[in-house]
Copies of this chain bind each other. A is one copy, B any other.
Amino acid sequence: MTDCGAEPLGGPDLRPVEGAAADAELAALAKALAHPARVRILRLLARRNTCICGEIVDELDLAQSTVSQHLKIMKNAGLLRGDIDGPRVCYCLDSRGLRRFKALAGSL
């Protein structure tokens, strides 16, 4: 139940890990992780291999609107995907973005 759709299935990332564009990219990804609540959300989603939705709100003792903002930030950064599942929305990791982040971090 409520599993996210399949990944868009990208091959290995060919973009460079250096240069001005890569710097901006890493900075943007880092900014998306620059808050404990967002790191926690990412870990929650990683632990349960299935997707959860409003359960995140229950775990975080933050208001629903605040959690929604955090989710939006990470989604825009490409770290999460959110699929609509009936009246709910199912979030899960975007492993592509996560891999990209790790690759950029590893290049330091």
Contacts and interface: CB of A to CB of B under 8 A. Distances in A.
Interface string A1-42: 000000000000000001010011011101101111011101
Interface string A94-108: 000010011001101
A38 B104 CA distance: 14
Interface residues on A, range: 20 to 34
A88 interface: no
Given A30-B30, A34-B31, A108 B23 contact: no
Contacts of A40: 20, 23
Interface of A: 18, 20, 23-24, 26-28, 30-31, 33-36, 38-40, 42-43, 46, 98, 101-102, 105-106, 108
